[in-house]
């Protein structure tokens, strides 16, 4: 399947289906909401794996919420008013994967979606995703992302970059095998900082502290048109926000996030700058000529 100009193999696509629409999914509620809805919290046999953590954006949730796990049959066995209140609570608590019906009525059966919960929002279940998984996954993974421009990079740019970034071409235009910390992530570039370090030849980059690597292997300053300039966006307090690395010719490699649906993509440096959120400042560092894998 082609997503964002990236070929995704069938094995990974099947994992995506399971991560977007697992057979059993978590619903986050206050203790009072659990009682009010007549539900039972926290089936202890279910762990929130890294990929589901990212599907449901648990970092956005308030602390102290109860977790109710329901499979598709259990969900639909609830009275319609309970389903509606349950889904509305997920929006209120800022859980991910609660899309609006209006955004999906062109692909999915709107009547089915309207009956699921409150008539405005819905949650993903295997019976929704499986029949249309190609169209659904393409839209979910592409949401808010620019297409990868890997094929637009001239061969001479890749050749010139290879001495400083020996793995950049290999990593570009790929998806990690899972989320950062996930059981399927066997590669060593599961998030933005690891992608930068791995492209420069660092071994086990998922576990290498980025600040230490930056100090050991880079010098202050850089040029966006040359290969090996590490672009680092920081918050006002100096904390890291994001990183990318230039390939030369105004192109850069980055991974937008640690999630399973985040691609390792090539974009123009100008696009990366434009996508940076307010309140962060770009700092440039150049890979030293004597940089060696760490």
Give the CATH number for residue 220.
3.90.1720
With tokens 């509606």, the residue in question is 84
Q: Residues 6, 136: one domain?
A: yes
Task: Give dist(CA 250, CA 154) in Å, integer.
Answer: 11
> How far apart, in whole angstroms, are the C-alpha atoms of residue 121 and residue 193?
35
Same domain for 136 and 97 = yes
What is the value of pTM for the model shown? 0.92
* Number of neighbouring beta carbons within 10 Å of residue 151: 10
Q: Give domain status of residue 293, yes or no.
A: no
- Domain boundary (78, 110, 142) is at 142
Same domain? For 185 and 133 the reply is: no
Taking only the tens of pLDDT, the chain with its 294 residues reads: 999 999 999 999 999 999 999 999 999 999 999 999 999 887 554 578 999 999 999 999 999 999 999 999 999 999 999 999 999 999 999 999 999 999 999 999 999 999 999 999 999 999 999 999 999 999 999 999 999 999 999 999 999 999 999 999 999 999 999 999 887 766 789 999 999 999 999 999 999 999 999 999 999 999 999 999 999 999 999 999 999 999 999 999 999 999 999 999 999 999 999 999 999 999 999 999 765 444
Q: How many domains does the chain have?
A: 2
For the chain, give the number of residues. Answer: 294
Beta bridge pairs of residue 69: 26
Residue 271 resides in a domain: yes
Domain holding 178, by residue range, is 150-287
Measured torsion, CA atoms of residues 223, 226, 227, 233, in degrees rounded to the nearest 10: 20
> Does one domain contain both 35 and 161?
no
* Cα(62)–Cα(31) distance, integer angstroms: 13
Q: Residue 245 and residue 173: Cα distance in Å, rounded?
A: 14
Q: Which of 115, 142, 169 is the last residue of a domain?
A: 142
Within a 10 A sphere around the Cβ of 160, how many other Cβ atoms?
Answer: 17
């Amino acid at each position: 399947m082609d997503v964002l100009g990236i070929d995704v193999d069938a094995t990974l696509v099947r994992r995506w289906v399971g991560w977007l629409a697992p057979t059993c999914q978590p619903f986050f509620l206050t203790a009072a909401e659990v009682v009010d809805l007549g539900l039972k919290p926290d089936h202890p046999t279910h762990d929130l794996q890294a990929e589901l953590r990212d599907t449901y954006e648990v970092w956005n949730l308030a602390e102290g919420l109860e977790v109710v796990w329901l499979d598709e049959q259990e969900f639909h066995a609830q009275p319609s008013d309970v389903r509606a209140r349950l889904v509305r609570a997920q929006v209120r608590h800022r859980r991910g994967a609660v899309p609006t019906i209006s955004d999906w009525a062109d692909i999915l059966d709107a009547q089915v979606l309207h009956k699921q919960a409150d008539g405005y929002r819905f949650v993903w279940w295997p019976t929704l995703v499986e029949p249309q998984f190609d169209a659904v996954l393409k839209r979910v993974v592409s949401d808010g992302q620019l297409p990868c421009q890997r094929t637009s990079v001239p061969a001479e740019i890749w050749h010139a970059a290879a001495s400083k970034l020996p793995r950049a071409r290999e990593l570009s235009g790929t998806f990690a095998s899972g989320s950062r910390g996930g059981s399927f992530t066997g590669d060593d570039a599961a998030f933005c900082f690891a992608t930068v370090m791995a492209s420069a030849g660092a071994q086990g980059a998922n576990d290498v502290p980025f600040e230490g690597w930056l100090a050991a292997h880079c010098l202050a300053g850089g040029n966006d048109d040359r290969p090996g300039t590490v672009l680092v966006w920081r918050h006002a307090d100096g904390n890291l926000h994001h990183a990318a690395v230039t390939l030369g010719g105004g192109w850069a490699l980055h991974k937008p996030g640690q999630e399973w649906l985040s691609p390792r993509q090539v974009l123009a440096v100008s696009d990366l700058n434009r996508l940076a959120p307010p309140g962060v400042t770009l700092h440039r560092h150049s890979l030293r000529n004597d940089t060696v894998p760490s």
